[in-house]
Amino acid sequence: MPDETRGFNQVVRPLLSENCYPCHGPDTATRAADLRLDNEREARRVTDRGEDGQILLLQRVLSTDPDEIMPPPEAGKSLTVAEKKMLVDWVESGAPWKQHWSFMRPESPPVPATSGNQWCQNPIDTFILSELHRQGLEPNPAAEPGTLARRLCFDLTGLPPTLYQIRDFETSCNARGMAAAVNDFIDELMASPLYAEHMSLGWLEAARYADTDGYQNDRYRYQHAWRDWVLKAFNEKMPYDQFVIEQLAGDLLPAASLWQQVATGFCRNHRINSEDGSIPEEWRVEYVADRVDTLGTVFLGLTMGCARCHDHKYDPISQREYYQLFAFFNNVAEHGVGPNNGNSPPFIELPASWPIINEADDKALVPAPVELRAARKDAGNGLQRPQAGEPNTVMVMHDLPQPRMTFRLLRGQYNLPDTSEKLLPAIPTALATITSTSPGNRLDLARWLVDGKNPLTSRVYVNRLWQQVFGRGIVETSENLGAQGSLPSHPELLDWLALELEQSGWNIQHVQRLICTSATYQQSSDVPDEKLRSDPENRWLARAVRSRLPGFVLRDQALAFAGLLVNRIGGPSVKPYMPPEIWSSISNNTYDQDAGESLFRRSLYTYWRRTIPPPTMVNFNAAPREVCIVRTEVTNTPLQALTLLNNVTFVEAARCMAERIASPENSTDECVVALFELATGRKPEAVEQDVLRHSWQMAHRYYLEHPDAANDLLAVGESPRVSQIEVTKLAALTNLALTILNLDEVICKE
């Protein structure tokens, strides 16, 4: 391990990549002096001693002559003394070479010899602990059971636990020990449809799922049946390999089912342009490129898009290879311009019983081919649009009987094909683990991803599972495991988890269970000052993560506390509260807010208009869903405070919380304690109770003086007021509930 951290991949390649690859890397077009340093054989020319006895690389790097020195001054890059020393050490030790770490298969790493340690619950902990010790750190004590119950619920269901769940978990911990209690609790949570909903949400963002087409007028599409498929997949604990294969190529599976065909909606979630005047081929090329980029980011953790216009500057993917990948997705029976409302072909009509499908009807359908018709009557308007799919359809993948020709596109432009060479589908050479036959279609591509030889697929996915829980992946740049991506903080742990995923039959829940049953996960998140100093970013995990909850979760949580949340899985998107004229103020569409229970469904069902996404979610760093995004940041801004304090969703939820706990028999103090406990899962300390009581008294005094104001506050929101409690008291409690909803403890996972 110590040697490895000083090794080529950890130290030397990042230096070469950052400073040399722009001119001496994979891109043939910008390669200078016909020298490449991303390839051992070529690099030997300058790292071996030449006939003159000199080592050219060192000569140039150590030169003080501005005409000689590398990198040259005009490159705007320079090596520090320490970095130069690293290069000297490397060259002098014979310039040992290794392939980029993520392009090599994970190998079963030796589990560090801390296994005897009492703290360790499973091998995750031994990897973490051995690194902690190297950093001179010790883990935190375990979290309180109540805190842990809350953390598990957020991580596995995206909702807070009920008070009953917390007390039950605490009892179970006392009776049978924490390990057994956690295991049972994980079982309970994973069995719930809430788990499927939570897991689906992250996938919707990565898969750029939305309810509109995304360009210009941004008209409506109907793709929620694909979301139903995702929910079903997580609900039934579909293994990850099948999850990948069905979404990329479910239509090509032998005797494909209707569900498997619907799964391929994944490849149709890209934006579609319906703008008047569009040139169809220009946009069709964009859709294919989007599929390649998405494949790269979400499954391979590579920035494929960089090779669209030229060879990749850092990773071994040539422009030609990019278009060979492009060829897999280039045969869809689609048209480049959309129908300007409704689904774009190819789409299939779903049975009226959807999502309930008889076994006999569970067969893939043949989508109708594109039928073009003139868009407008105006003379000279040459735009033709395809037929539009109605709300009972879903867009799927379907290939043309005769494949389109694929060529390399110069500068990535649709109208500049290099017709001198027809390209067939193929995997980039650097990743080619299939040698026997060259892959022919999307199904081969999908199977290659999960054939157990691919070095990236399992690492990329476990890294994101880790990120989902710890806020940061073992590789921080979860979208890029290539040469310019960050290095893994715990490389052996990453490989161990990747192999666990593969060897468990791609069992997602197995990996999540390993994570959640680890002592690492179960630590307290408190941060003693010395740990804050020694590891401010918590890279080494000597404490659990404490992070602000995502916007989706904050809304769902408030609805849950309020007793408003509707627990019904799947179906079309809903239109909850939005600011007035949210769409019509800057576009040509009108948002028609729903009524009744549609206002209170989980946030993953909220209608997603790409060009004007729900502001409350965006405010809390939701991905905009225009393209594939697998990592979002967590910010802390005044606009977030305004939302949580003033937005109708939260004000109404506060009122309903107050209504839930207030009854004529309860004293004020009992109400205050109950409200606090409802949201935090614990009773307030005495000093906290004093502050809460003070808040209540001030609010109550205000409403006694201003009874009309009390009525105004209680009228916020569509849900009817049911409580018979006197309005000044209820209004004061509503304010208190709003304060509690804004407690840092409540808006964070601790």
Partner 1 sequence: MLLGAAALASLSGGMPSVANALEQENRIGGRMDVPHHEPKAKRVIFLFQSGGPAQMELFDYKPDLRNRMGEEVPRSVYPDDRKTTMSSAQASFPVAPSPFRFSQQGQSGIWVSEVLPHTARMIDELCVIKSLHTDAINHDPAITFQQTGSQVPGRPSLGAWLSYGLGTFNADLPAFVALSSKGSAKTGQPLYDRLWGSGFLPSQHQGVKFRNVGESVLDITNPPGVSRDLRGDLLADLSRLNSLRHADTRHPEIIQRIAQYELAFRMQMSVPELLDFSGEPNHIVELYGQDCLSQGKYAYNCLLARRLAERGVRFIQLFHQGWDAHNNCPTQVRRQCADTDRATAALLNDLKQRGMLDETLVVWGGEFGRTTYSQGDISHEGYGRDHHPGCFTMWMAGGGVRRGCAIGATDDYSVNVVENPVSVHDLHATMLWLLGIDHLQLTYRFQGRDFRLTDVAGNVLNELCA
The footprint of partner 1 on residues 109-138 (CB under 8 A) is none
- Residue 100, by phi and psi: left (phi above 0), alpha (psi -120 to 50) or beta? beta
Decide if residue 104 touches partner 1 (CB under 8 A).
no
Inter-residue contact 496 to 503 (CB < 8 Å): no
The single-letter code of the amino acid at 24 is: H
- Of the candidate spans 154-162, 268-276, 317-325, 508-516, the one that interacts with partner 1 by CB under 8 A turns out to be 268-276
- Of the candidate spans 120-128, 459-467, 583-591, 597-605, the one that interacts with partner 1 by CB under 8 A turns out to be 583-591
b/e 714-741 (16+ beta carbons within 10 angstroms → b):
bebbebeeebebebbbbbbbbbbbbbbb
Site string for partner 1, 285-314 (x = CB under 8 A): ------------------x--x------xx
Of 215, 234, 461, 552, the residue at the interface with partner 1 (CB under 8 A) is 215
Minimum CB–partner distance for residue 716 and partner 1 (Å): 6
245 or 289: CB nearest partner 1: 289
Decide if residue 78 touches partner 1 (CB under 8 A).
no
Decide if residue 643 touches partner 1 (CB under 8 A).
yes
| Residue 417 host element (H or E) | strand 417-423
- Cα→Cα distances 659→217, 725, 731, Å: 42, 8, 10
Inter-residue contact 195 to 236 (CB < 8 Å): no
Selection from 323, 345, 327 nearest residue 336 by Cα: 345
Selection from 549, 530, 273 nearest residue 414 by Cα: 273
Decide if residue 641 touches partner 1 (CB under 8 A).
yes
Distance, CA of 486 to chain centre: 17
Minimum CB–partner distance for residue 694 and partner 1 (Å): 6
- Residue 541, by phi and psi: left (phi above 0), alpha (psi -120 to 50) or beta? left
Minimum CB–partner distance for residue 410 and partner 1 (Å): 15
What six digits make up the tokens of 236?
A: 């039934």
Residues with Cβ < 8 Å from 607, sequence gap 6 or more?
211, 573, 574, 575, 614
The footprint of partner 1 on residues 646-675 (CB under 8 A) is 646-648, 651
What six digits make up the tokens of 737?
A: 């509930």
Minimum CB–partner distance for residue 589 and partner 1 (Å): 8
The footprint of partner 1 on residues 535-554 (CB under 8 A) is 546, 548
Decide if residue 217 touches partner 1 (CB under 8 A).
yes
Decide if residue 564 touches partner 1 (CB under 8 A).
no
Decide if residue 191 touches partner 1 (CB under 8 A).
no
The footprint of partner 1 on residues 594-633 (CB under 8 A) is 610-613, 615, 618-619, 621, 624, 626-627, 633
Q: Alpha helix locations (H) across 489-591?
A: 491-503, 508-516, 519-522, 529-534, 551-562
Instruction: Show the CA angle centred on residue 240, arms to residues 237 and 243, nearest 5°.
Output: 85
Selection from 661, 676, 653 nearest residue 743 by Cα: 676
Decide if residue 461 touches partner 1 (CB under 8 A).
no
Minimum CB–partner distance for residue 20 and partner 1 (Å): 14
Of 534, 637, 663, 724, the residue at the interface with partner 1 (CB under 8 A) is 637
304 or 501: CB nearest partner 1: 304
- Of the candidate spans 154-162, 446-454, 643-651, 660-668, the one that interacts with partner 1 by CB under 8 A turns out to be 643-651
Secondary structure (3-state) at 342: coil
221 or 232: CB nearest partner 1: 221
Decide if residue 372 touches partner 1 (CB under 8 A).
no
- Of the candidate spans 133-141, 159-167, 467-475, 587-595, the one that interacts with partner 1 by CB under 8 A turns out to be 587-595
- Of the candidate spans 34-42, 229-237, 446-454, 479-487, the one that interacts with partner 1 by CB under 8 A turns out to be 479-487
Inter-residue contact 543 to 519 (CB < 8 Å): no
- Cα→Cα distances 528→472, 532, 636, Å: 21, 6, 22
Q: What share of the chain is helix, strand, coil (3-state, %, to 5)?
A: 50, 5, 45
Minimum CB–partner distance for residue 252 and partner 1 (Å): 29
The single-letter code of the amino acid at 557 is: Q
Decide if residue 723 touches partner 1 (CB under 8 A).
no
Q: Where are the beta strands (DSSP E) in 264-392?
A: 347-349, 372-374, 384-386
- 374 beta partners: 384
Decide if residue 241 touches partner 1 (CB under 8 A).
no
Decide if residue 532 touches partner 1 (CB under 8 A).
yes
Of 1, 32, 586, 704, the residue at the interface with partner 1 (CB under 8 A) is 586
Minimum CB–partner distance for residue 412 and partner 1 (Å): 10
Decide if residue 482 touches partner 1 (CB under 8 A).
yes
- Of the candidate spans 113-121, 182-190, 348-356, 641-649, the one that interacts with partner 1 by CB under 8 A turns out to be 641-649
Q: Is the dihedral of CA 33, 39, 42, 46 positive or negative?
A: positive
232 or 270: CB nearest partner 1: 270
The footprint of partner 1 on residues 145-184 (CB under 8 A) is none
Site string for partner 1, 36-75 (x = CB under 8 A): ----------------------------------------
Measured CA to CA, the distance from residue 183 to residue 180 in angstroms comes to: 5
Of 89, 138, 371, 581, the residue at the interface with partner 1 (CB under 8 A) is 581
The footprint of partner 1 on residues 315-344 (CB under 8 A) is 337
Measured CA to CA, the distance from residue 302 to residue 298 in angstroms comes to: 8
**DSSP per residue over 433-476, as a string?**
---SS---SHHHHHHHHTSS--SSHHHHHHHHHHHHHHSS-SSS
Of 273, 393, 509, 520, the residue at the interface with partner 1 (CB under 8 A) is 273
80 or 353: CB nearest partner 1: 80
52 or 592: CB nearest partner 1: 592
- Cα→Cα distances 493→183, 398, 474, 599, Å: 22, 40, 8, 43
Decide if residue 275 touches partner 1 (CB under 8 A).
yes
Measured CA to CA, the distance from residue 254 to residue 260 in angstroms comes to: 10
Measured CA to CA, the distance from residue 628 to residue 270 in angstroms comes to: 9
Minimum CB–partner distance for residue 641 and partner 1 (Å): 4
Minimum CB–partner distance for residue 626 and partner 1 (Å): 4
Of 318, 340, 387, 477, the residue at the interface with partner 1 (CB under 8 A) is 477
Minimum CB–partner distance for residue 485 and partner 1 (Å): 6
**Count residues contacting partner 1 (CB under 8 A)?**
107
432 or 629: CB nearest partner 1: 629
Inter-residue contact 202 to 623 (CB < 8 Å): no
Measured CA to CA, the distance from residue 302 to residue 325 in angstroms comes to: 13
b/e 531-544 (16+ beta carbons within 10 angstroms → b):
beeebeebebbbbb
186 or 207: CB nearest partner 1: 207
- Of the candidate spans 89-97, 160-168, 489-497, 738-746, the one that interacts with partner 1 by CB under 8 A turns out to be 738-746
Of 344, 480, 507, 509, the residue at the interface with partner 1 (CB under 8 A) is 480
Of 135, 381, 567, 663, the residue at the interface with partner 1 (CB under 8 A) is 381
280 or 570: CB nearest partner 1: 280
